[in-house]
Amino acid sequence: MSLILFHTPNSRSLRPLWLLEELGLDFDLNTIAYDAEYFASDAYREINPMGKVPAFYDGDHLVLESTVILEYILAKHGPSPLGVTPEESDFGHYLTWLHMAESGLSHYLAVLLGQMMNPEKYGVSENFASYVKYQAEKAFEMLDNHLAGRSFIAAERFTAADISVGYSLFLASVLCRMPLPDRVQAYFERLQDRPAWKKAISVK
């Protein structure tokens, strides 16, 4: 069955693209420039009824949510050391960061990015922007503490949790220009050295 990823450069679809490149799986990449009108169109809603990227097809099966797609690919097309199994002691850390990178970081950071890129359309109040930054900074602090004595999020190896967090750090540091705590910055730099990240981020 063929795998198809609908991808927009710099967006959350970098998560599944990065994983697919790490795994060396065969897949078709459908790259779409960011275009709010096209995402809202009937044509794109046929592909993804939520009108967002990523959208991932495994044959006829549509899978949504970037962090869910990571879990799906590893469950259906693994096993791989990029997943952490329930038998491993870091399983809880793995799942926590795999999902919190989206719900506790990217979810908030996307609001800041919208405000920076198109204040007329997506601008929010100063109070709300401060709340969003407060939420992101709490997660950076937790991550900084988690990385004390660790090179990766879980199981002492690079896993899908690092992909999930790595994308959020890209969104925070590169797109939203937020400073990162020292350990988090060093970790982010290590992640960006990976050939699969370099390949994924170079797709235009």
Ligand X SMILES: N[C@@H](CCC(=O)N[C@@H](CS)C(=O)NCC(=O)O)C(=O)O
Cβ(166)–Cβ(196) below 8 Å = no
Q: Counting contacts by CB under 6 A, is residue 114 touching ligand X?
A: no
Q: Counting contacts by CB under 6 A, is residue 75 touching ligand X?
A: no
Q: Counting contacts by CB under 6 A, is residue 51 touching ligand X?
A: yes
Q: Counting contacts by CB under 6 A, is residue 72 touching ligand X?
A: no
Q: State in angstroms the smallest separation of the CB of 101 from ligand X.
A: 9
Q: State in angstroms the smallest separation of the CB of 32 from ligand X.
A: 9
| Binder among 21, 71, 102, 162 for ligand X (CB under 6 A) | 102
Q: Measure the CA–CA gap between 74 and 108, rounded to whole angstroms.
A: 26
Q: State in angstroms the smallest separation of the CB of 38 from ligand X.
A: 9
CA dihedral 110, 188, 17, 107 (to 10 degrees): -20
Cis upstream peptide for 54 (omega within 30°) = yes
Sheet of 55-58, strands arranged across: 28-31, 3-7, 55-58, 61-64
Residues in region 1-20 near ligand X by CB under 6 A? 11-12
Number of residues that bind ligand X (CB under 6 A): 12
Residue with tokens 């096993």: 79
Q: State in angstroms the smallest separation of the CB of 99 from ligand X.
A: 10
Q: State in angstroms the smallest separation of the CB of 142 from ligand X.
A: 20
Burial class (CB in 10 A: 0-12, 13-18, 19+), 19: buried
Q: Counting contacts by CB under 6 A, is residue 186 touching ligand X?
A: no
Nearest to 196 by CA among 27, 6, 3, 2: 27
Residues in region 143-172 near ligand X by CB under 6 A? none
What residue ranges bind ligand X (CB under 6 A)? 11-12, 36, 39, 51-54, 65-67, 102
